[in-house]
Structure 1
Amino acid sequence: MDDDLSVKMEPSKTYPASTSTVTPLLARPTGVHRFPPTKAFDSFRRGSGPEYSFAPALGENGRVFNPKAAAWNTAHTPLVRRLKGRHLQMIAIGGSIGTGLFIGSGSALATGGPASLLLAFILIGAVLFCTVQALGEMAVTFPVAGSFSAFATRFIDPAWGFASGWNYAMQWAFTMPLEVMSAAITLEYWNIDLPGWAAITIFLFAIVMINLCGVKIYGEAEYTFSIIKVTAVIGFIILGAVINCGGTQDSGYIGGKYWANPGAFHNGFKGFCNILVTAAFSFSGTELVGLAAAETHNPSKSLPTAIKQVFWRIALFYIVSIAIVGLLVPYTSPQLISRNSVDSKASPFIIAIQSAGIEGLDSVMNAVVMIAVLSVANSSMYGATRTLQALAEQGQAPRALAYVDRKGRPLVAIAVASAIGLLAYLYVSPVQGPAFTWLLALSGLSSIFTWASICWAHIQFRKAWTLQGNSLSDLVYQSPIGVAGSWIGLVSLILILVAQLWVAIAPEGASANLSAGEVATNFFEAYLAMPVVLLFYGAYKWGYGTRWVRVRDIDLVTGRNEFESLGVRRQWREDRSEWPRWKVVYKMLC
Structure 2
Amino acid sequence: MKENSNEEPNGHVQRGLKARHVSMIALGGCIGTGLFVASGSAISQAGPGGALTAYVLMGMMVYFLMTSLGEMATNMPISGSFAAYSAKYVDPALGFAMGWNYWFNWAITVAVDISTAALVMKFWLPNVPAWIWSAIALLLIFLINAMSVSTFGETEFWMSLIKVVTIVIFLIVGTLTIFGIMGGHFVGMRNFSIKQAPFVGGVPAILTVFVVAGFSFQGTELVGITAGESKDPQHSVPKAINEVFWRIILFYILTIFVIAAIIPYTSHSLLGSSATDIAISPFTLVFQRAGLAAAASIMNAVILTSVISSANSGMYASTRMLYSLSNSGYAPKKLGETAANGIPYYSLLVTTAVSLLTFISSIAGPKLYMWLVAASGLTGFIAWFGIAISHYRFRRAFIKQGHDLSELKYHAKLFPFGPVLCLILCILVIVGQNPSAFASFDWKQILVTYMSVPLVLILYIVYKLKHHTKIIPLEKVDVSPAHKDEDLSKLNEK
In structure 2, the residue matched to 1:479 is 412
1:463 to 369, 375, 396: 396
Write the deviation string for residues 431-475 of structure 1: whole angstroms up to 9, x where unpaired. Answer: 322222111111111121111211111111111111222110111
Alpha-carbon separation, structure 1, partners of 2:460 and 2:219: 23
Q: Does the CA-based 8 Å contact 1:441-1:524 persist in structure 2?
A: no
Q: Does 1:521 align with 2:444?
A: yes
Deviations 1:528-562 (A, max 9, x none): 2212211211221222221111111111236269x
- Cα pair 1:245 1:255 within 8 Å, conserved: yes
| Equivalent residues of 1:124, 1:280 under 8 A apart | yes
2:429 pairs with 1:496: yes
**Counterpart for residue 293 of structure 1:** 227
Aligned pairs (5 A) from 1:412-561: 412-429=346-363, 431-506=364-439, 516=441, 519-557=442-480, 559=482
Instruction: Name the aligned partner's letter for residue 266 of structure 1.
Output: V
After superposition, residues 53-132 of structure 1 pair within 5 angstroms as 78-132=12-66
Gaps of 5+ in 2: 485-494
SS in structure 2 opposite 1:261? coil
Give the Cα separation in 2 of the matches to 1:265 and 1:191.
40
CA contact 1:103–1:342 (8 Å) conserved in 2: no
Give the Cα–Cα distance (whole angstroms) in 1 for the partners of residues 434 and 89 of structure 2. Answer: 28
Alignment pair present for 1:311 and 2:245 = yes
| Cα drift, residue 163 of structure 1 | 1.1
Query: Using a 3 Å threshold, how does the CA distance of structure 1 residues 270 and 480 change in structure 2: closer, same or farther?
Result: closer
Q: CA RMSD in A?
A: 1.9
Work out the CA distance in 1 between the residues paired with 2:148 and 2:243.
25
Deviations 1:390-449 (A, max 9, x none): 0111111122211212211010110011111211113431x3222221111111111211
1:407 alignment partner in structure 2: 341
Cα distance in 1 for residues equivalent to 2:383 and 2:224: 12
Does the alignment pair 1:181 with 2:159?
no
Aligned equivalents of 2:33, 2:380: Cα separation in 1: 15
Q: Which residue of structure 2 aligns with residue 5 of structure 1?
A: 5
2:489 matched residue in structure 1: none
Shift in Å, 1:116: 1.1
- Alpha-carbon shift at residue 271 of structure 1 (Å): 1.3
Q: Per-residue deviation at 1:346?
A: 2.6
**Which stretch shows the higher mean deviation, 446-455 or 135-144?**
446-455
Distance in 2 (CA, whole Å) between partners of 1:109 and 1:190 is 28
Instruction: Give the letter aligned to residue 471 of structure 1.
Output: D
Partner of 1:397: 331
Alignment of 1:8-23 (within 5 A): none
Q: 1:527 to 1:480 in 2, by over 3 A?
A: same
Instruction: Give matches, 1:171-210, under 5 Å.
Output: 171-210=105-144
Q: Is residue 167 of structure 1 aligned with residue 96 of structure 2?
A: no
CA shift, 1:488, in A, is 2.2
Q: Which residues of structure 1 form unaligned runs of 5+?
A: 7-28, 32-46, 49-77, 507-513, 562-590
CA distance in 1, matches of 2:81, 2:164: 26
CA distance in 2, matches of 1:498, 1:201: 37
**Contact preservation (8 Å) 1:401, 1:413:** yes
CA drift of 1:300 comes to 1.3
Q: Is the 8 A contact 2:374 2:448 kept in 1?
A: yes
Counterpart amino acid of 2:317? G
Q: Distance in 1 between matches of 2:232 and 2:118?
A: 38
1:30 aligns with 2:4: no
From the superposition, tell whether residues 332 and 191 of structure 1 become closer, same or farther in structure 2 (CA, over 3 Å): farther
Q: Percent identity?
A: 36
Q: CA deviation at 1:152?
A: 0.5
Checking the alignment, whether the CA contact within 8 Å between 1:125 and 1:315 is kept in structure 2 is yes
Rounded Cα–Cα distance in structure 1 between residues aligned with 2:370 and 2:89: 34
Q: 1:204 to 1:476 in 2, by over 3 A?
A: same
Q: Among 256, 265, 269, which residue is 2:203 paired with?
A: 269
Q: Which residue of 2 aligns with 1:235?
A: 169
Shift of 1:198: 1.8
**CA contact 1:345–1:351 (8 Å) conserved in 2:** no
- Partner letter of residue 161 of structure 2? I
1:427–1:502: structure 2 CA closer, same or farther, 3 Å change rule? closer
Structure 1 residues 84-128: Cα deviation after superposition (integer angstroms, max 9, x where no partner)? 100000000111000111111122222222111111010000000
Match of 2:490 in 1: none
Q: Is the 8 A contact 1:273 1:503 kept in 2?
A: no
Q: TM-score, length-normalised on structure 2?
A: 0.93
Q: 1:4 Cα deviation (Å)? A: 4.8
1:329 to 263, 286, 294: 263
Query: CA deviation digits over 1:54-73, x for unaligned, max 9?
Result: xxxxxxxxxxxxxxxxxxxx
Q: Deviations over 1:34-69 (max 9, x none)?
A: xxxxxxxxxxxxx16xxxxxxxxxxxxxxxxxxxxx
Secondary structure of the equivalent of 1:221?
Answer: helix
Structure 1 CA distance for aligned equivalents of residues 428 and 151 of structure 2: 40
1:358 to 292, 295, 316: 292
- Assess if the C-alpha contact under 8 Å between 2:122 and 2:128 holds in 1: no
Q: Residues 4, 286 of structure 1: CA spacing in aligned structure 2 closer, same or farther, 3 A cutoff?
A: farther
| Residues in 2 aligned to 1:550 and 1:184: alpha-carbon distance in whole angstroms | 50
Q: Which has the higher contact order (CA 8 A, sep 6+)?
A: 2
CA radius of gyration, larger in:
1
The residue type paired with residue 5 of structure 1 is S
Amino acid at match of 1:424: T
Question: 2:315 & 2:98 partners in 1: Cα distance?
Answer: 18
Where do 1:378-393 residues align within 5 Å?
A: 378-393=312-327
The answer (yes or no) to whether the contact 1:337–1:346 under 8 Å persists in 2 is: no
